[in-house]
A and B are shown apart, each in its own frame.
Chain A
């Protein structure tokens, strides 16, 4: 079992293997993710029941919840990749971080935007400086920092190292920001509005929500593979295996 895992890890670190496999997987993942997103959107927007309290506004949940959850998951996966890069110097981890950062930034932005649009009619405000929203904003800033960092180093390896360090700084910093804002709110001026409190959700609403979450995760998987392939081909364009591959096609 352990040996198998180790083999898989080594394979994952190999550009040609990844390039070959991802090429086969991409069409299926792309097809499933986009159809799931279309189905769950139509279901969620037109067929799921109207919420008793919020009315039709709640339907933005089908965009907001998947975006916010995937933006956090992407960041945590990037920090795992950062640790892998710093400890084992696996180049693929650098490719992973560079490719996923713009996707994560985009979904964080969608999450913030949809949250604001949802918040205005429901809670009467676009934005609250509470811990959750502030830390999402900080998450967005860390994505921007990671994207900006890519171009400041001449050497690819140096850039990947610096980016990995920033990613890990972010993982440490995010909870600190969350805690300190929380603390500031409770000690200083208790928040008048708090956007929290999970309400129970009926199964007719839950199924399209789960479908949309699944669709967005698959979509991130799909775009992640595409971006990683593009990144690998730009890094390896002068390599033997890559030339051979592209001359075959």
Chain B
């Protein structure tokens, strides 16, 4: 147990030192959100309709950037070899890595997405559904990113992006739909439940697959 707490602390320390890890997604998010009114239209009615999709897509793209590299540094500096040699439960270690990466690269954007109320006239009454759907939907997307990262392991490959789009498409649909439902006064809990079910169902499978993919590089 000490072992895993130590890994958790180490990951936190590494990410907090690496300011780019959490600043660049935030900057990316803010730039895109503030460019939409200029690029599309500054008409509040138009933006209001587009807002749920715009926010979700922006979050999705910014996680896409950060998650592909989740294992690449560990691969370059040899940490993954040491992890494999340690004989410890790799799934748990991968879970810790994904969790810390999510805290640093997704959570700040989710909190900042509140700003979209001011920037792209997102209706206030939809905020609850926006935050909840992002909180439950983004971990699943991070899982996909971790798998893509474990498969391509830092090497530049089209595989990551090509896999991410089809895999995260259902999540995107469920997420934006939850927001649209709540804006139209329809109960959106079924979508949230479905997103939760997908997360719970995929979590063990993808952890297992990511560990397998990492091991394939040492064969």
Contacts and interface: CB of A to CB of B under 8 A. Distances in A.
12 contacts: A138-B166, A141-B162, A141-B163, A141-B165, A153-B216, A153-B217, A155-B216, A166-B163, A170-B166, A176-B170, A180-B170, A181-B173
B213 interface: yes
Interface stretch (B89-97, B113-121, B150-158): B150-158
B35 interface: no
A184 B166 contact: no
Nearest to A183: B173
A162 interface: yes
Contacts of B219: 155, 157-158
Contacts of A134: 169
Q: Is the interface of B mostly helix, strand, loop or mixed?
A: helix
Contact of A166 (B151, B155, B173): B151
Contact of A188 (B166, B167, B177): B177
B159 A187 contact: no
A148 B153 CA distance: 13
Interface of A: 134, 138, 141-142, 144-145, 147-149, 151-155, 157-158, 161-162, 165-166, 169-170, 173-174, 176-177, 180-181, 183-184, 187-188
Interface string B187-219: 000000000000000000000010011001101
A188 B213 CA distance: 37
Interface of B: 151-153, 155, 157-159, 162-163, 165-167, 169-170, 173-174, 177, 180, 209, 212-213, 216-217, 219
A177 B216 CA distance: 28
A152 B163 contact: no
Nearest to A165: B209
B149 to A, nearest CB: 11
Contacts of A180: 169-170, 173-174
Contact of B159 (A138, A149, A158, A183): A149
A184 B163 contact: no
A165 B180 CA distance: 35
Given A138-B165, A148-B162, A180-B173, A188 B180 contact: yes
A151 B156 CA distance: 10
Nearest to B152: A152
B216 A149 contact: no
Nearest to A174: B166
